[in-house]
Amino acid sequence: MTDRDVFEYALLRVVPRVERGECFNAGVVVYCRARSFVAARTHLDEARLAALDPGADVVGVRAALHAVEGVCLGGEDAGQAAGDDAGRRFRWLIAPRSTVVQPGPVHTGLTTDPEAEVERLLDLLVR
């Protein structure tokens, strides 16, 4: 039997008009402590965004989603989080915030391949 590791994930939601609370999924962040792994993948459905807010800042939303991916990668793209370990970067990304791109609740699972989980969850819950 292959060893499976616990992983955590949170969806990234786009809330174009925070006062209305309407949202849709636009990405996923996955963290696996046992493998010091954190990654995010995003997919912005511009038609959904326009349906909820025709005047939404598409470029700004896309930049916010890419920033999450950059923090996960670490290095220069992570900004102040560059020196943090994978767990600290994940915890920072899933902290509640009242912005256009917001993390959802954290869920857990078991996996043999955290990288594959990122893609599987993106296909299952976002696209």
- Mean pLDDT, rounded, for 91-109: 92
Residue 92 and residue 81 in contact, taking contact as beta carbons nearer than 8 Å: yes
Residue 85 and residue 35 in contact, taking contact as beta carbons nearer than 8 Å: no
Residue 1: per-residue pLDDT: 54
> pLDDT tens digit string along 7-25?
999 999 999 998 888 999 9
pLDDT at 61 over 90: yes
Report the C-alpha gap between 28 and 90 in whole angstroms.
11
Residue 73: per-residue pLDDT: 85
Q: Which of 11-15, 72-76, 87-91, 93-97 has the lowest mean pLDDT?
A: 72-76
H or E element, residue 56: none
At residue 79 the predicted structure's pLDDT band, cuts being 50, 70 and 90, is confident
- DSSP character at residue 85: -
- Mean pLDDT, rounded, for 94-116: 93
Residue 12 and residue 65 in contact, taking contact as beta carbons nearer than 8 Å: yes
Report the C-alpha gap between 78 and 69 in whole angstroms.
9
Residue 7 and residue 86 in contact, taking contact as beta carbons nearer than 8 Å: no
Q: What is the pTM of this model?
A: 0.91
Residue 77: per-residue pLDDT: 66
At residue 63 the predicted structure's pLDDT band, cuts being 50, 70 and 90, is very high
